[in-house]
Amino acid sequence: MSSANERSYTYEDYKETADWLLNRSGQKPKVAIICGSGLGGLADLLENKTVIPYKDIPRFPQSTVHGHAGQLVFGQLKGKPCVCMQGRFHYYEGYGIATVTYPVRVFHLLGVETLIVTNAAGGLNPDFNVGDIMLIKDHVNMPGFSGVNPLRGHNEERFGTRFPCMSDAYDREMIRLATETAVEQGCSSFLQQGVYCNLGGPCFETIAECKMLQSLGVDAVGMSTVPEVIVARHCGLRVFGLSLITNKAVVDYSSEQRANHEEVLETTRKRALALQGLVSSLLAKI
């Protein structure tokens, strides 16, 4: 990988971007929401919006994936000051892991206290159906097994400790509130909880890989989210995560099913409103 991809950032870099955004938006969000593939509609719920394209923001990468608009949206949701990423960055796009997670530290410096991550994911748990919403209770950072971790390198103590704990990565009280909210919203029949695993992508998994992940206790697989969560927990943000099960992972050699991004986006279109309702009602409770 080239050194440009592996670039690192100083505390002052993050601070400069945060100050620029504060100046441009005039808003100090308390909640940041990262919208997964096809889930950018969440940002449309915000009131009093200020929209800032990534291309205008100092040091921000660009979104290159279909279904990721590439802009920050500031505004209020249920009266809470929020910032939404309409489009996230993925390792497979060629960005270094510090670049993929760059916005999270910027949000921390803007005063964000809670990070909500959403993603589209393949369902590995045989009890899951396409269209289920999975509350993420834990993760497996598969790239971390070979040393790909956003905290690799110099530890900036102003963000967090060298060896952060990850056994409490996903806030249990928010999971409880979301479960309660799903009952109120009439969507508990397609609500699940489970373990999300990120792979590097951009290939979808082979059948052997899906079987291996299942045997490891993974419920849903994707290509994002975990690096953002690690950086968020390192700097003390409360994290809540949702996976929309957009397709079922193929685990049978006789299956004719083939994972593809069009199916992923198609499922997000069908479940976007339910997911948006759940997130906005949850926000009203925190």
Ligand X SMILES: O=P(O)(O)O[C@H]1O[C@H](CO)[C@@H](O)[C@H]1O
Q: Interface residues with ligand GUN (CB under 6 A)? A: 120-122, 199, 201, 204-205, 221-223, 246-247, 249, 259, 264
- Binding partner of residue 221 among ligand X, ligand GUN, none, CB cut-off 5 to 8 Å per kind: ligand GUN
Is 66 assigned to a binding site?
no
- Give the helix ranges, DSSP H, for the chain: 11-25, 97-100, 102-110, 172-185, 207-215, 226-234, 261-285
Question: Which listed option, ligand X, ligand GUN, none, makes contact with residue 36 (CB within 5 to 8 Å by class)?
Answer: ligand X
Q: Does the annotation flag 120 for ligand binding? A: yes
Indicate which of ligand GUN, ligand X, none lies near residue 88 (CB less than 5 to 8 Å, by partner kind): ligand X
Q: Shortest approach of ligand X to residue 29 CB, angstroms?
A: 21
Given the residues 63, 198, 243, 247, the one annotated as active site: 247
Please say if 208 is a catalytic residue: no
CA distance 39 to 231: 22
Residue for token pair 């510090």: 98
Nearest distance, CB of residue 140 and ligand X, angstroms: 14
- Of 131, 134, 122, the closest CA to residue 257 belongs to 122
Instruction: Report d(CA 46, CA 42) in Å as an integer.
Output: 8
224 catalytic? Reply is yes
Q: Where would I find the beta strands (DSSP E) of the chain?
A: 31-35, 47-53, 71-77, 80-86, 114-123, 133-141, 191-198, 220-222, 238-248
Reported as half-sphere exposure (CB side, CA atoms, 13 A), residue 143 has a value of 22
CA-CA distances (angstroms) from residue 106 to 3, 26, 48, 62, 202?
22, 15, 21, 16, 26
- Active-site residue 93, yes or no? yes
Whether 155 is a known active-site residue: answer no
Residues that bind ligand X (CB under 6 A): 36-37, 65, 88, 90, 119-120, 201, 222-225, 261, 264
Asked about 189 being catalytic, the answer comes back as no
How far apart (Å, rounded) are the C-alpha atoms in residues 218 and 204? 15
- Ligand-binding annotation for 224, yes or no, is yes
Choice among 119, 125, 141, 224 that is catalytic:
224
Active site residue 120: yes
User: What is the closest distance, in whole angstroms, from the C-beta atom of residue 85 to ligand X in the complex?
Assistant: 10
Which CB, 13 or 209, lies closer to ligand X? 209
CB of 75 to ligand GUN, least distance (A): 27
Q: What is the dihedral of CA 149, 155, 161, 162, to 10 degrees?
A: 60
What pairing do the DSSP bridges indicate for beta strands 133-141 and 71-77? unpaired
Residue 266 is among the residues annotated as catalytic for this protein: no
Annotated binding-site ranges for a purine D-ribonucleoside: 205, 247
Active-site amino acid positions: 37, 68, 90, 92-93, 120, 223-224, 247, 261
